[in-house]
Structure 1
Amino acid sequence: MNKSTRNTLIGAGIASSAIAAFGAVSHTVTKKLISVGMDRQAPAKFAEARPKFNRSPALQGAMVQLEQAGEILQSRPTEIVETISGDGIRLVGHLYRCENAERTIIAMHGWRSAWYRDFGIISEFWHNHGCNVLYAEQRAQSESEGEYMGFGLTERYDCISWINFLNENGFDKTPIYLAGVSMGAATVMMAAGLELPGNVHGVIADCGYTSPHAIWEHILKKNLHLSYGNLRKKTIDDMFKKNNQVDTITDSCTDAMKSCKTPVIFIHGTDDHMVPVEMTYENYQACAAPKRLLIVPGAEHGMSYLVDKAGYEAALMQFWADYDKIAT
């Protein structure tokens, strides 16, 4: 073997080792990201890293108001209710009844959040305007069972379980609305692509994304400055399917909207850096059902109600006025 050939082989060996090492590191990073994204129990350092995901300085300032509103909602006389999901896990909800209710809302909170945190700020408006509200605890979060979050793919069927629960417990005479924020919005949009009972009159989707893959890619590239190549995508695919026992994760909110028959109001803030407002535009354009769109200038992720209460409330009241009495 001559010197040139030997050097070429040595160089190739070094390159192969470097590629293998990079692949191993990349796989380890991907597994940690999956754990943060899907596992019930987040890694210990997640609390330190979470601001990178969704909290700008302005948004952190608003958290005080949200926390105070959440504490007030927790103090309200809610009834703890339970149902069983289609795959056999126990789901927990908090039912806040309204005297002489005109409608019932099923409220689905977001990723690694809580019912009182996401909806505390709007709960009094709902309660004062004729709404029973069932605040659901999403699977694999808080008191609901389950080990993995499904980014709407599994949770959409939990919406059906909650609808059936309400209809079996005396709420079948009032219109039902599905409401969600962030991952909760993705949950209710995907549920709207399924066959829903006739007393589900509308969907309220606040800052939802287009698909699990789309939001993962956005967060990795824009927020964490990591790549989202085919290898990482396949690793996420495989682990998601295994953890959640599903055959595919290609379903999307956009596809669900194409077959949706239930009226939808889409809401989003222009300054959302976690879920870009363009995703709501995509979902809105795809929606085959009657639809409304409320874009709130200057609002960050999940902050549209806080930024423009008057506009938000007016949009919901008009939505209810138009669809409370109309069977879908």
Structure 2
Amino acid sequence: MKKRIFRGVVIAVVIVAALLVGGSLYLLRYSLQPQATIEAKNASSYKYMYEEYPFLRPWVDSLRRVGALRDTSILGREGERLHALYVRAPQPTDRTAVIVHGYTDNAVRMLMIGYLYNCDLGFNILLPDLYYHGESAGRAIQMGWKDRLDVLRWMEIANGLFGGATRMVVHGISMGAATTMMVSGEVQQPYVRCFVEDCGYTSVWDEFAKELREQFHLPAFPLLDVASGLCGVKFGWTFREASALKQVARCGLPMLFIHGDADDYVPTWMVYPLYEAKPGEKELWLVPGATHAMSYHDQREEYTRRVGEFVGRYIPMN
């Protein structure tokens, strides 16, 4: 009898462990390797952007006519090719913006922010395709954590491309905003002057726990714990260490926080602990009625004015 009970317990434990591991591997593939979604977005990027932001087409067409929309690439830490777009300012300047896209998006899908900086504010711009996104290679989405190291390299590339003595802002939206905050906690080069984050999450753990609860009606424990551990084994990082909140607390440069007050994807509440954790100079703009990553779309003039005024305090006109 005891042997039978013991055998039953062992079998039950094995089944539960197998279900946990299987579910966790599915969660990793679902969240970090959505290849079909990325390919579909890549194929439709320009069409989508021209429909949502009609003013972009004449600008992009003019850049292409004169060969001003340029490509560049670097080799990543695993030997993969990482790609970026860049455009010089209409008039020579050292003012430079590095612009970071969101989850499953790409450089093209940040051209509206490129327009803001290049056309409206007169900046040089560089827009990287993050690892596994756009024209960049890679094994899986890094949710900003390892991307912060790539963006630091892109900042060096941008500084070199635009004269070697630039004054730079880094501006990200959604996952790109979390990446920007993760970048901000690292040691900065003298040319970096400020940051703009638009609707970034506190941490990968918090965002995934929220999605697990809302999409699958499951608690974080134990599935997220196992998935995080497997992510560490497979990809070299865990959900808890990927914390914009911890990184922004180490940021010594000015930061503008933007968040739509109707955002339920990266919930609006996340901006408050992020803002509170940031020491030193900072500013918060809650955008009335804006859903996730739609603040510029919905309030283009006000967005441009606020970003221009904030960045202009730390990177004034020559």
Report the equivalent of 2:298.
307
Report the equivalent of 2:201.
209
1:36, distance to aligned residue in structure 2 (A) = 2.0
**Runs of 5+ in structure 2 lacking a partner?**
42-47
Change beyond 3 A, Cα 1:105–1:309: same
8 Å contact kept, 1:209–1:215: yes
Change beyond 3 A, Cα 1:82–1:224: same
What does residue range 1-328 of structure 1 map to in structure 2 within 5 Å? 13=8, 21=15, 23-39=17-33, 42=35, 65-66=51-52, 75=61, 76-77=63-64, 78-100=69-91, 101=93, 103-117=95-109, 119-128=110-119, 129-230=121-222, 232-246=223-237, 249-325=240-316
- The code of the aligned residue for 1:264 comes to M
Distance 1:248 1:215 in 2: 9
Shifted more, 150-159 versus 126-135: the winner is 126-135
- The code of the aligned residue for 1:66 comes to E
1:88, distance to aligned residue in structure 2 (A) = 4.0
Distance 2:235 2:184 in 1: 21
Change beyond 3 A, Cα 1:195–1:233: same
Distance 1:193 1:260 in 2: 5
Shifted more, 63-72 versus 232-241: the winner is 63-72
SS in 1 for 2:178: helix
Work out the percentage of aligned pairs sharing the same amino acid.
25
1:235, distance to aligned residue in structure 2 (A) = 1.8
SS in 2 for 1:265: strand
- The code of the aligned residue for 1:24 comes to A
Distance 2:162 2:106 in 1: 26
Distance 1:310 1:164 in 2: 31
Deviation string, structure 1 residues 157-199 (Cα, Å, up to 9, x no partner): 0111111112233433331111111111111110110001111
8 Å contact kept, 2:94–2:162: no
Distance 1:214 1:225 in 2: 15
Change beyond 3 A, Cα 1:302–1:248: closer
Deviation string, structure 1 residues 13-46 (Cα, Å, up to 9, x no partner): 4x8866754553443232122112222x53x5x6
1:86, distance to aligned residue in structure 2 (A) = 4.6
Distance 1:73 1:242 in 2: 45
TM-score, with normalisation over the residues of structure 1? 0.81
**Runs of 5+ in structure 1 lacking a partner?**
51-61
Report the equivalent of 2:45.
none
Distance 1:303 1:65 in 2: 14
1:96, distance to aligned residue in structure 2 (A) = 1.6
Change beyond 3 A, Cα 1:264–1:307: same
- The code of the aligned residue for 2:123 comes to C
1:318, distance to aligned residue in structure 2 (A) = 1.0
Change beyond 3 A, Cα 1:124–1:247: closer
Q: Between Structure 1 and Structure 2, how many residues are aligned?
A: 302
